[in-house]
Structure 1
Amino acid sequence: MPHVQTVLGPVEPERLGRVLSHEHLLCLTPGPGLGQDPVDTAVAALRGLTAYGIDTVVDLSPYGDAGRDADGANTVLLREIARRSGLHVIAGTATYRADFSPAWVRAAGVAELTRRFVADATEGIGAGRWDEAGEGAGEGEGRVRAGILGEQPTGLGEVTAHEERGLRAAARAHHATGLAVSTHTTHGTMALEQIAILDQEGVPRERVVIGHLDNHPDLDHVRRVLDTGVNIAFDSIGKQFWDLRTPRPPDTAPDGEYPKRALRHSDLTRADRLARLVAEGHAGQVLLSMDLTGGQAWANPATHGRWGYRYLPAVFTGLLAERGVDEARLEEMLRTNPVRLLTIDRSS
């Protein structure tokens, strides 16, 4: 039967309300050992969302830094967050860029990654881990099953061989599981290249979400992506200031300055662009979220820092309303579209 796979088990799609489609619930604290329990923090951060009709959060944390452990153990925390918050939580599975990936991810080929993703969806996240002999570990009993493939990334202005392997593995896992594919673009670049790779693997475009398109400065580029028939995400709402994420220098690096690039993407600009796309008839292809983390809350005190997850429904939707976006279009972007993507229907 058609269903949405949550961390607590399958749920009928009709039971879901509005959805935050790209979040990282275990990345809200600055680091371990600082006296902040990640489950307590997440439950507190989610409080009050149901007043705005939001009852579902998609956690798109990949394997690697601040993401999934190799054995999937931290997904048990997502289950506890779901129980205590009363919200539906969906866990994604993916790898990330090589600079932030563990050695086993960097060494894996397409076939190995595909097997891993399929096991994450069918047996539970971490159930497909292999040891040095290439043998699987665990039976998946009690594990959290993935409900979407993502966020699968590409870099800034390039698709590396590592990233292409991950995209192709996600595509092949889609065919085996029926899960939708959600991607990470670095500031909106390489979206069309992602689509070309997924096309080669035969993934239906309507089952693809291209992420972070709200961060690309050229609206015509976003229109070209929409014209292919994929879905796109305006999923950095409230993230107006941040440092361009770069690999940290090695521990052996000498003392001195290591410059970073600082970025700004105004939510007024986001609202202007999104309202224009909605007026042009694209609301049926857009998903909304915030990609909120503890670091982003620190960098954005007026948005994420003040409002947390409530910023999108309490503030940003008001900016859209001022620009002519009505409740019906909001319902499409916050509920209809993400629920359609999260619904797994192997009969179709």
Structure 2
Amino acid sequence: MVLTGPWHRGRVVDPAEFERQQVEAAVTALSGLRAFGFATVIDLSPYGDAGRDAHGHNVRLLKEIAQGSGLNVITGTATYRKEFSPQWVLEASIDELTDRFIDDAHTGIAETGIRAGIIGEQPTSENIITDHDERGLRAAARAAAATGLALATHTTHGTMALEQIDIIASEGTDLTRVVIGHMDNHTELDYLRRVLDTGVSIGFDSIGKQFWDARTPYRIPPSNGETNKRSLFRSDETRADWLTTLIGEGYRDQIVLSHDLVGAQVALNPETHGQHGYTYIGAVFSELLQQRGATPADLDALLHSNPARLLQAATRP
């Protein structure tokens, strides 16, 4: 048999074997979640990045992962930044992207029959919204308004959040159905307040990502919140401090939690994701919140009722 496909552990493996290994690895990675009360995982991988192929054909593997793990798996639909985008995305108009996202929600992604349950994560770049970024974000906002699905965005280190909101609002999207992502990586708590005051929800969704780049020595003591990605450091202690502060100020029902974790990133944070993987929030971070006064009702809101509300499709206008 001639082996073709991905290079894996020093040898070329058959694509079907590679996919089987992917499914097995994902099921293993998710296996501890149910013990902490989690029942649902959201995959926000965009076309051509974070494991999703250029046209979304391998979304079909999510069904096998759901069956193997016993978890609900909800998938999103989105494009990513220009440097990561397949050619069809680079050539698509706003209307074509909008139609693609709507079709993914109504009919299914890449003829798999697996329909998107959320729009996103739709990105912008660090300290700038490029023409490519804006085209994708407008399409995602229009698709969210048309389908009634929530819209999740990706900010780069928490930047350009208010500008994202301006664009999304200009497309007539209900801001209470929007999650602005990665806001736990911004350097100013007051900026998060300004974002929340627009009515959107925010993601504290990089929990466990304290160090960000394998090219940086793990033990280097960078400044907390440094926004050069090669040395970005965001303490989970700081995340917990900020979260409990925002809860005390009445923002609890506008915050959701996640790891923003793909398997290749586990080694970057051996003391968080490396030890606990996807269970880190349940095993460790929730305890940090409780130590700071978060109640069971607070945790239920952050981890259950808030995401459940967002995942329930709204009635289309």
Structure 1 stretches of 4+ moved >4 Å: none
1:33 paired with 2:17, answer: no
Alignment of 1:173-322 (within 5 A): 173-243=143-213, 261-322=230-291
Alpha-carbon separation, structure 1, partners of 2:105 and 2:168: 19
In proportion to residue count, which structure has more helix?
2
Q: Is the 8 A contact 1:205 1:230 kept in 2?
A: yes
Q: Is the 8 A contact 2:43 2:75 kept in 1?
A: yes
What is the DSSP-based 3-state SS (H/G/I as helix, E as strand, rest coil) of the residue aligned with 1:325? coil
Alpha-carbon separation, structure 1, partners of 2:105 and 2:27: 25
Alpha-carbon separation, structure 1, partners of 2:74 and 2:173: 21
Q: 1:159 to 1:113 in 2, by over 3 A?
A: same
What is the CA-CA distance between 1:68 and the residue it aligns to? Answer: 2.8
Q: Which residue of 2 aligns with 1:159?
A: 129
What is the CA-CA distance between 1:273 and the residue it aligns to? Answer: 0.7
Aligned amino acid, residue 298 of structure 2: R
Q: Is the 8 A contact 2:149 2:313 kept in 1?
A: yes
1:110 paired with 2:110, answer: no
What is the DSSP-based 3-state SS (H/G/I as helix, E as strand, rest coil) of the residue aligned with 2:8? coil
Q: 1:320 to 1:260 in 2, by over 3 A?
A: closer
Alpha-carbon separation, structure 1, partners of 2:49 and 2:40: 24
Aligned amino acid, residue 315 of structure 1: V
Task: Give percent identity, aligned residues only.
Answer: 59
Alpha-carbon separation, structure 2, partners of 1:56 and 1:286: 17
Residues 206-229 of structure 1: CA distance to partner in whole angstroms, max 9, x if unpaired? 000000000001000000001111
Q: Which residue of 2 aligns with 1:81?
A: 65
1:45 paired with 2:29, answer: yes
| Structure 1, unpaired ranges of 5+ | 1-30, 127-139, 246-258
Q: TM-score, normalised by structure 2?
A: 0.88
Q: 1:100 to 1:117 in 2, by over 3 A?
A: same
Match of 1:93 among 65, 77, 83: 77
Aligned amino acid, residue 205 of structure 2: D
Alpha-carbon separation, structure 2, partners of 1:79 and 1:159: 34
Alpha-carbon separation, structure 1, partners of 2:250 and 2:104: 36
What is the DSSP-based 3-state SS (H/G/I as helix, E as strand, rest coil) of the residue aligned with 2:39? strand
Q: Which residue of 2 aligns with 1:23?
A: none
Question: Which of structures 1 and 2 has the larger relative contact order (alpha carbons within 8 angstroms, sep 6+)?
Answer: 1
What is the CA-CA distance between 1:244 and the residue it aligns to? Answer: 9.6
Alpha-carbon separation, structure 2, partners of 1:201 and 1:347: 14
What is the CA-CA distance between 1:347 and the residue it aligns to? Answer: 6.2
Q: TM-score, normalised by structure 1?
A: 0.80
What is the CA-CA distance between 1:53 and the residue it aligns to? Answer: 1.1
Alpha-carbon separation, structure 1, partners of 2:57 and 2:229: 33
Match of 1:149 among 112, 119, 122: 119
What is the CA-CA distance between 1:57 and the residue it aligns to? Answer: 0.4
What is the CA-CA distance between 1:48 and the residue it aligns to? Answer: 2.0
1:330 paired with 2:293, answer: no
Residues 92-136 of structure 1: CA distance to partner in whole angstroms, max 9, x if unpaired? 00000001111111111101100110111111112xxxxxxxxxx
| Structure 2, unpaired ranges of 5+ | 1-5, 216-227
Q: 1:197 to 1:237 in 2, by over 3 A?
A: same
